[in-house]
Amino acid sequence: MSIASGLLAAVRSRARRAGGRAVHRGWRWVREHGAVTGASPGPYRFGELGDGSKLAFPTGTIFNEGSIRIGPFCIIGEQVTLSAGFLPGLDLGPEPVITIGGGCVIGRGSHLVGHQSIVLGDDVWTGPNVYISDQAHEYRDTTLPIGKQWPRNEPVEIGAGSWIGTGAVILPGARLGRNVVVAAGSVVRGEVPDFSVVAGAPARVVRSYSELEGWQPPFRNPAPTPLPEGVTAEQLRALVGWDLRPPGEV
């Protein structure tokens, strides 16, 4: 390779690296400034968007957000669909169609599709690609396409403190109690009692808790060792071996 060719290759390599850095810096800027918050709602006018809550950019499909209420300190991941009603621009009345409590985390790529009532209690967390809907199509008339048959609405409620695993589907009429775990890929319908774990399609209870018997069946692995009482932040940093201080803290 000649000296000129080598210099040209080096220049091109540096240009590619510089271009890559510029693209990533630009995308970080877009994500930061495109995020939806109460202070910076963009084009959206939610019925409620609590303090400290944020919808990551890029958002998914969002329409009729006036019928959607989001409590404080929620994190809504990228590409999350929040839709109320059949079509954009509908007047759905004063009552919310989708209500998300405080402290909720909705994983990226999830869908909350409401037509009558979907209620998530406080501190409900979901993994990615979870689907929750309160509407299903009927299939009674064999002469009509199923998509054109009149749907059926049944309210959905997910109790506070619950965890919905990746890829789970919550069907119309599902009512989950408090602190329920839904295993990844499960399909949930009907009533789910408090303090239980459900799995499968259709989902069934595979573990539950009662004050009399504790967890049944019992856990096979030991509980994590809790931190000793009175451990200071400095001691924890020394134990872990990492600098856990926030940026800028001396």
Active-site positions read 137
Residues 6+ apart with CB under 8 A from 217: 207
95 phi-psi bin (left φ>0, alpha ψ -120 to 50, beta other):
beta
> Backbone phi, then psi, for 159, in 5-degree steps?
-70, 160
In the chain the first and final C-alpha atoms are separated, in Å, by 51
Nearest to 156 by CA among 143, 170, 177, 140: 170
Residue 155 sits at the vertex; the CA angle it makes with 74 and 160, to the nearest 5 degrees, is 35
